Structures are given as structure tokens and as C-alpha cells.
């Protein structure tokens, strides 16, 4: 494709956003690299309170989390993108044992990162030898904070990014680059207001205060991140979920008009949709590998899914 100068906006920010939409992202915003001073108190309080549970990696690389210039040499701009993954309300996510909606398709790390590198390639065609790295929920990057700075939404009381058009069923990705990009970003005001539906609906009380999650109580953490065996009390608290949890998103008014994803790679795999939810209680190891090996469920061991799928009450 010809990216002649007459085709692009004189505003590089708008031009890069156009390229992001071209590769399939649903939203894009840009912010200057900076030290996230406003996150220091929140992050330290969260860690000091032990809310990260067994996620010891959250205690490491604090400076990289707070300053992308430590993570990426000569970083000047953070390009944040959103990709809608909402799949509707399939039985596998609404009837126990339930799988969180984000895990019904190909592994999002691969899908989003591939699009980010497509975007980086297009940026290089226009702006020359731009150096940078792509990040998708797998490195010390405070992605929600950068998305907020880029004007893509606000942090809801459930601690998730909420975009006023897309809701919270979105994946976040970043390109941290050495390209200086002038921005006219206006941050989106927090529009949760007095609503407490997510706090009220959480069956384990994991939302201990607005935007603060005690992971040790969070069903997603218990079914995915916790490495030591669940106690009987924890097993009984899973509320029908065997991998992840969507409750705080299901009740959020901003998801009331969620539109299904138009990204083919994020459409639920037919093999998963064909599963009767109760099959997860006795699925064979071989079938589990066949159906879920290229999905986020590959992070969980087969035995763990079986254990989480069988009610211990």
C-alpha cells in the first residue's frame, strides 16, 4: 500500500490512530512517556497489603512498571490500543462450570501482539526507522494507567478499564516507541458515579474499595494465578467458575450495550462452543489439549480445570 505523504494527516497522532484502526484495533490513544508518579502510592499500598497474593512477579521491576523509559531504551511515546473481545453470552460462560469470556478464543497475547507489530511496521513505512517494543499483559507495564493517560477510558470500581463506547470487554496493548509524537489527549472523566453494582455483586468481597482488588479473594486469581492448592473454603467460593470470572463485568451498566467482536481471531472457537459445560467435569486430558492448547486455558493444568469444574460443596 502506498503511504504517500498526501494521504496522511498533518497530525501524526491522528495518522497513527488511523493506522491502528486499519490493522483492526477498536480504539487507540497516545501519551508521552513519563514517570507514573500518580500510581506510586496505589501500587505500594496494594503490594504492602498483600493483595497480590502469590503473584510474586508483581513485586519485581517496580521502576519498570512506573517508568517505561527504564523498560525501553529512548522511549518517547506510548501508543495504547484496545481490541474488543466480547463474544456474547454462550452457555460455556453462563452455565457452570463456567469459562471467562476472554478465554474462549485464540490466546489474546498472540492475537494482539501480532496486530501491534503490524502497526509498528506501518509506522516505520511512514516515519522511518522507529524502534520500539510491543506489550500485551506479559511484562512490567501498567497498561491500564497508560490507557487512561491516552484518553481511552477510566478505571472502574472493579479495577478494569472502562471505555465509554466499548465497555470493559477489551484487551489492552501498547507500543512503546522512540518516536516523538505530539498529542492533544484529553483524559476521559470517571463516569462510574455512585454505582456500586460490581462491588455488590462480587460473591467473595474481592473489591475491598473502589478500584482496589484483594486478589486472594478474587475468583479469577483463585482459578488461574494461585499455585498452591485451594482450601476447601476457596474451592467453595468459585461460584460455578472453573477459569476466570466475569461477574463484575456482567453487572456493569457500561457493558449493557456491548457489541460482539468483529475480530475473527477473537471469535470463540467452535470446539469450545460445542462443549456442553458439564463436559468439563470429565473431559479427557487428550480432548482438553485438543480444544484448549491454543487458548488462555493452556496456562492452567488439566488437573486444575477438572478440580475447579467439580463442585466441592
Mean predicted confidence (pLDDT) in 48-70: 92
- Percentage, residues of the chain above pLDDT 90: 88
- Do 177 and 76 touch, CB atoms closer than 8 A? yes
Question: Helix (H, G, I), strand (E, B), or coil: what is residue 99?
Answer: strand
State how far the Cα of 311 lies from the Cα of 313, in Å rounded to an integer: 6
Q: Out of 137, 178, 200, 311, which one is annotated catalytic?
A: 137
**Beta strands, E only, 124-223:** 132-135, 154-155, 161-162, 170-177, 207-209, 212-213
What is the band of 311 on the pLDDT scale with cuts at 50, 70, 90? low
CA distance 139 to 244: 20
Strands 241-243 vs 98-99: parallel, antiparallel or unpaired: parallel
What is the pLDDT at residue 48?
95
CA distance 174 to 83: 11
Size of the chain, expressed as the number of residues it contains: 313
Instruction: Show Cβ contacts of residue 255 under 8 Å, excluding neighbours closer than 6 positions.
Output: 86, 167, 168, 169, 249
Q: Is the pLDDT of residue 178 over 90?
A: yes
pTM of model > 0.85? yes
> Which SS3 state, helix, strand or coil, does residue 123 take?
helix
pLDDT at 24: 98
Note the CATH architecture for domain 5-177: 3-Layer(aba) Sandwich (3.40)
With cut-offs at 50, 70 and 90, classify the pLDDT of residue 246.
very high
Mean pLDDT value of segment 111-132: 96
pLDDT at 4: 41
Out of 6-10, 128-132, 142-146, 272-276, which region has the weakest mean confidence (pLDDT)? 6-10
Measure the CA angle with vertex 15, ends 264 and 152; round to 5°: 65
- How far apart CA 266 and CA 260 sit, in angstroms, is 10
CA–CA gap between residue 10 and residue 94 (Å, rounded): 48
pLDDT beyond 80 at 10: no
Bond preceding residue 97 cis, omega within 30 of 0 = yes
Rounded CA gap, 268 and 102, in Å? 9
Q: pLDDT-derived band of residue 299, with 50, 70 and 90 as boundaries?
A: confident
Q: What is the CB-side half-sphere exposure of residue 244 using CA atoms within 13 A?
A: 18
Asked if residue 163 has a cis previous peptide bond (ω within 30° of 0), the answer is: no
The confidence score (pLDDT) of residue 142 equals 95
Share of the chain above pLDDT 70, in %: 96
Look at residue 49 in the predicted model and tell me its pLDDT. 96
Told to judge if 137 belongs to the known catalytic residues of this protein, a careful annotator would answer yes
Tell me: the pLDDT tens digits for 216-236?
999 999 999 999 999 999 999
Task: Average the pLDDT over 196-211 and give the result.
Answer: 98
- Where do the structural domains in the chain lie, given as residue ranges? 5-177, 197-256+269-309
Give me the mean pLDDT over the 135-149 stretch. Answer: 94
Q: Using the CB atoms, write b or e for 261-281: b if 16+ within 10 Å.
A: bebebbbbeeebeebebeebe
Question: For residues 161 and 153, is the Cβ–Cβ distance under 8 A?
Answer: yes
pLDDT at 58 (0 to 100): 87
The whole-number average pLDDT for the span 262-284 is 94
Amino acid at each position: 500500500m502506498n503511504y504517500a505523504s498526501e494521504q496522511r494527516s498533518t497530525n501524526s497522532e491522528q495518522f497513527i490512530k488511523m493506522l491502528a484502526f486499519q490493522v483492526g484495533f477498536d480504539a487507540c490513544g497516545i501519551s508521552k512517556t513519563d514517570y507514573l508518579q500518580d500510581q506510586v502510592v496505589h501500587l505500594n499500598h496494594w503490594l504492602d497489603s498483600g493483595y497480590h497474593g502469590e503473584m510474586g512477579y508483581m513485586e519485581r521491576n517496580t521502576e519498570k512498571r512506573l517508568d517505561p523509559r527504564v523498560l525501553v531504551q529512548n522511549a518517547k511515546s506510548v501508543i495504547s490500543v484496545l481490541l474488543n473481545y466480547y463474544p456474547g453470552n454462550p452457555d460455556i460462560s453462563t452455565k457452570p462450570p463456567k469459562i471467562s469470556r476472554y478465554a474462549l478464543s485464540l490466546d489474546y497475547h498472540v492475537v494482539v501482539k501480532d496486530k501491534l507489530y503490524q502497526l509498528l511496521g506501518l509506522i516505520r513505512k511512514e516515519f522511518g526507522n522507529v524502534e520500539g517494543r510491543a506489550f500485551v499483559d506479559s511484562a512490567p507495564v501498567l497498561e491500564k494507567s497508560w490507557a487512561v493517560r491516552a484518553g481511552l477510558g477510566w478505571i472502574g470500581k472493579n479495577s478494569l478499564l472502562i471505555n465509554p463506547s466499548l465497555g470493559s470487554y477489551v484487551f489492552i496493548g501498547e507500543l512503546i516507541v522512540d518516536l516523538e509524537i505530539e498529542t492533544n489527549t484529553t483524559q476521559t472523566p470517571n463516569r462510574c458515579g455512585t454505582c456500586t453494582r460490581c462491588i455488590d455483586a462480587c460473591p467473595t468481597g474481592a473489591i475491598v474499595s473502589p478500584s482496589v482488588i484483594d486478589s486472594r479473594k478474587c475468583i479469577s486469581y483463585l482459578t488461574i494465578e494461585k499455585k498452591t492448592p485451594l482450601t476447601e473454603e476457596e474451592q467453595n467460593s468459585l461460584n460455578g467458575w472453573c477459569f476466570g470470572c466475569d461477574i463484575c463485568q456482567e453487572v456493569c451498566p457500561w457493558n449493557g450495550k456491548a457489541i460482539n467482536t468483529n475480530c475473527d481471531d477473537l471469535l470463540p472457537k467452535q470446539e469450545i462452543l460445542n462443549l456442553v459445560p458439564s463436559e468439563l467435569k470429565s473431559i479427557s486430558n487428550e480432548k482438553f489439549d485438543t480444544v484448549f492448547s491454543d487458548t488462555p486455558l493452556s496456562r492452567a493444568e488439566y488437573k486444575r480445570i477438572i478440580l475447579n469444574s467439580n463442585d466441592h460443596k
